[in-house]
Amino acid sequence: MSLSPELRKRLAEVCDRHAVVERSLAEPEVLGDPEAYKNAAKEHSELSELVDTFDTYQRLEKELEENQILLGEDDPELVEMAQAEIDSAEARLPELEDKISLLLLPKDPNDDKNVLLEIRAGTGGDEAALFAADLLRMYLRFAELKGWKHELMDSHPTDAGGFKEVIVMINGQGAYSQLKYESGVHRVQRVPATESQGRIHTSAVTVAVMPEAEEVELDINPEELRIDFFRSSGPGGQHVNTTDSAVRITHLPTNLVVSCQDEKSQHKNKAKAMKVLRARLYDKMLEEAAAEQAAARKSMVGSGDRSERIRTYNFPQGRVSDHRIGLTLYKLEQVLAGEMDHIIPELIQYFQTEALKADSDADADAA
């Protein structure tokens, strides 16, 4: 396998664009415009890895040709060295071809965005709510290990220390690219603390991962919103405060409802609720666009369907199994402690490979 002439032409165009952007970074009009400089620097960064990989590929091709010529020399030691270089280049070139193909895939424009993470207890009552709290700690610890920050947007705790629902904003470069495949049903199998017979119970928690939507990306008509204020309350009906600071916002065209009661300030609760609403509407828009594309191409990669059971956490066996990629790890404690680098990179590689297959199939159909 080698890069086709069409692919080489496409790569040459990328290299030309990279050079143009690189020159623009030194131009006074770009340097004097913070927004233009930011956009140019981002594009330069996105193109650089592909250009560097293609440069390495071309250098190895040239070395391969030169060493193949040396095989005709009379010096056995020189021939042996040339053959070793040839073997090395022939092993690396296919890897670089695969990397180039992946880097040429359209980049998800949401990958660099912050994440709105929603965790909801499903079947299993108190045990599901307790596991929702476990998952929240897992993701927040993962975020901490990545150097990301988080902000609690809304929560509905239970008397037992779990959560019926909890929403957090995770702020960090590339947060969505790392967490976007976590959407789905997470199943837990363990013996609840309240179970006297030692029987294993199965409970479920739903996770939704949505990119943060900026105001410029989504225009919400204030006339299409119904905003209600009510008194915040905690577990057991105990009042968090005695003022009507909690906010409920209903988006009338879609009937989406969000609420926030964690802040004592009505204004802050409203601002947080609007962030959640904006992210949900943006996510709905993305899902509808993906569904249309799937209908056209008869395939969908990484839909993040939240009705799908994606992972099982089995406590008696200390096992974590991701059902989408057939991955099983006996590192339950480490994973729940936020050490997810044995899972997330595997998921990203799997979905990138699936996207590459879909892209190849689409090209074949077009041909």
Q: Looking at residues 150-166, what average pLDDT do you find?
A: 91
Q: What is the pLDDT of residue 196?
A: 63
Is residue 108, in this structure, part of any structural domain at all?
Answer: no
pTM of the complete model: 0.69
**pLDDT value at residue 293:** 52
Q: Quick one: 123 and 193 in the same domain?
A: yes
Question: In terms of domains, do 36 and 74 share one?
Answer: yes
165, 236: one domain:
yes
- Top pLDDT among 358 and 221 is at 221
Say if residue 120 is in the same domain as residue 91.
Answer: no
Does 365 fall in a domain? no
Tens of pLDDT, residue by residue over 294-305, are 554 433 333 334
Residue-averaged pLDDT of the chain: 85
Residue 5 in this model has a pLDDT that exceeds 90: no
Question: 243-273: per-residue pLDDT in tens?
Answer: 678 899 999 999 999 988 878 788 888 889 9
- Domain count within the chain: 2
Looking up residue 148, the CATH number of its domain turns out to be 3.30.70.1660
| Domain end marker among 78, 103, 128 | 103
Q: Does some domain include residue 190?
A: yes
Do 123 and 87 share a structural domain?
Answer: no
Burial of 4 (0-12, 13-18, 19+ CB in 10 A): exposed
Q: Where in the sequence is the domain holding 351, given as residue range(s)?
A: 115-357
Given this model, what pLDDT does residue 305 score?
44
The domain boundary, picked from 39, 71, 103, lies at: 103
* 282-289 mean pLDDT: 82
Residue 239: predicted pLDDT: 43
Supply the CATH number for residue 20's domain. 1.20.58.410
**88 and 139 belong to one structural domain:** no
Query: Are residues 133 and 33 part of one domain?
Result: no
pLDDT, one tens digit per residue, over 176-216 is: 999 999 999 999 999 887 676 778 889 999 999 998 887 65
Q: What percent of the chain is predicted at pLDDT more than 90?
A: 48
Distance of alpha carbon 366 from alpha carbon 279, whole angstroms: 35
Whether 208 is covered by a domain: the verdict is yes
98 in the same domain as 176: no
List pLDDT tens digits, range 326-347.
999 999 999 999 999 989 999 9
Q: Which of 80, 103, 126 is the last residue of a domain?
A: 103
Sheet strand arrangement including 225-230: 225-230, 246-251, 256-260
Q: Alpha helix locations (H) across the chain?
A: 5-24, 28-31, 34-70, 76-103, 126-146, 175-179, 266-297, 332-336, 344-366
Confidence of residue 217 (pLDDT cuts 50, 70, 90): low
